[in-house]
A = this chain, B = another copy of it.
Amino acid sequence: MSGEDLIARRRRLLGRHVTTFYEEPFAPVRGEGVWLYDREGRPHLDCYNNVPHVGHCHPRVVDAIARQTATLNVHTRYVHDLILDYGERLTARLGGGLSAMIMVCTGSEANDVALRMAEAVTGNRGFIGTDNTYHGNTSAVSQLNARKVPVGGFGDHVRKVPAPDNLAPIGGSPEKQAEAFCAEVETAIADLQASPHGFAGLILCPYFANEGFPTLPRGFLDRTVEAVHLAGGLVIADEVQPGFGRLGSHFWGHERLGFTPDIVTMGKPMANGYPAAAVVTRPEILEAFQEQFRYFNTFGGNPVAAAAALATLQVIEDEGLQENARDVGGYLLARLCEIGARHEVVADVRGAGMFLGLELMEDDRPATASCARLVNEMRRRGVLVHSAGRHDHILKIRPPLVFSRENADLLADTLEAALGEAL
């Protein structure tokens, strides 16, 4: 079966609008660590995928999934110790009384539950999010997303505030940005309070990943969190992207910014690819939710999901992957800064740990087309990256956490060559 046949079958079955990465679509058949191999056995360095968090097909996670799948897989209306072992270990990594958990299957489901938790606690339905974000794809959660207007239009219960930015900081300067962000949130709160919806909460990615992860000082959200709480609302931190040690300096994005959310959601990297996600909150919030909604998730937190997530957490700890993200990420950031300094198109180089980016600008405009050319050129050279940001003009680098200095050098060298070739 040739690659072309696969594309034709794919369009026929999955629809002609199905998203496919790269001009020359990539068809991996095997994965190991930071490598993905195509049919011809050619290795591609994975600098993009955050789902295989501890590396593609990590033997300990594979083994945990295989063994538990062969032993028992049932729903959580029966009693099993693995979800408890996992949940206790997971919540021990969170402060602020965040000791209660619901396991679900996807980050979308986690955020869908989190919104309802805030509704249950406050009795209100109005939410504030940032204006270029993505929190998932259920009907309710997609109301918070930036792109594609749903049937019936966006709901009147959502207010979108401008996300912080590096090159065009809201408030006019990096110093004033925290204050300006808080002021925007306060205006949105007042607006919702004056509406029939009332104010339920603020949801954000504490790394502002989809907005292009602007560099922000610790404490950036302190005043905002205070304002939300003063208004009786809850703060939901969507840790799907920054969580589980990716940022190197801290295990969670909110920890890095230095605030304590009321609800934390997590997904993608949690079980290294097994469909697992979770909502962690304070017991009284979980209780309010359970009293208001009769929630049960058939696959969520089943013994295999718990085994996979537990193995992933153990590998992060045993292999020191947060520390590796910090060290190799720091090394890679320095190399990217050197490269950026030599290429005019690179307007900014930033990020933390294993989540880095190069913002590309041409004539003071986002270099969207150049970024796409660069992404495709690197794919041809066997290095997988992609784009992010408001205008898809930021080269996004987000590899599995087992990335080494040698991998970082290969990425940097390929980037340098591709920049010369593509731009």
Residues of A within 8 A of B (CB): 1, 3, 6-7, 9-10, 12-21, 25-31, 36, 49, 51-52, 56-57, 59, 61-62, 65-66, 69-81, 83-84, 87-88, 91, 99-102, 105-109, 112, 115-116, 119-120, 123-125, 137-142, 145, 147-148, 150-152, 267-268, 273-276, 283, 286-287, 290-299, 302, 304-305
11 chain-A/chain-B pairs, Cβ below 8 angstroms: A9-B84, A10-B84, A13-B83, A15-B100, A51-B73, A57-B69, A66-B70, A137-B297, A147-B294, A148-B292, A274-B275
B290 adjacent to A15 (CB under 8 Å): yes
A125→B152 contact, CB < 8 A = yes
Nearest chain B CB to A418 CB, angstrom units: 20
* Count of this chain's copies in the oligomeric assembly: 2
Beyond A6-B79, A81-B6, A139-B115, whether A293 also contacts B148 by CB under 8 A is yes
A147–B295 Cα distance when bound, in Å, is 11
**Would you call B27 and A80 a contact (CB within 8 A)?**
yes
Question: In the bound complex, do residue B81 and residue A1 qualify as a contact, i.e. CB atoms below 8 Å apart?
Answer: yes
**Contact residues in B for A88 (Cβ distance below 8 Å):** 9, 13
Other A-B pairs, 4, CB within 8 Å; known A1-B81, A57-B72: A65-B66, A125-B152, A145-B294, A147-B294
Q: Using A19-B77, A21-B78, A79-B20 as known contacts, say yes or no to A106 and B299 having CB atoms under 8 A apart.
A: yes
Nearest CB of chain B from residue A124's CB, rounded to whole Å? 8
CB pair A13–B78 under 8 Å, yes or no, is: no
> With a CB–CB cut-off of 8 A, which chain B residues contact A77?
19-21
**Which one, B14, B27, B292, B304, contacts A87 given CB within 8 A?**
B14
Q: Return the contact of A290 from the options B18, B69, B119, B152 (Cβ within 8 A).
A: B18
Judge whether A139 and B137 touch: CB under 8 Å.
no
A140 to B142, CA, bound (A): 11
Say yes or no: A27-B78 contact (C-beta < 8 A), given A83-B14, A151-B116.
yes
A69, A105, A148 interface centre (most CB from chain B within 10 Å): A69
* Chain B hits for A295, CB < 8 A: 137
**Contact: B66 with A62, CB < 8 Å?**
yes
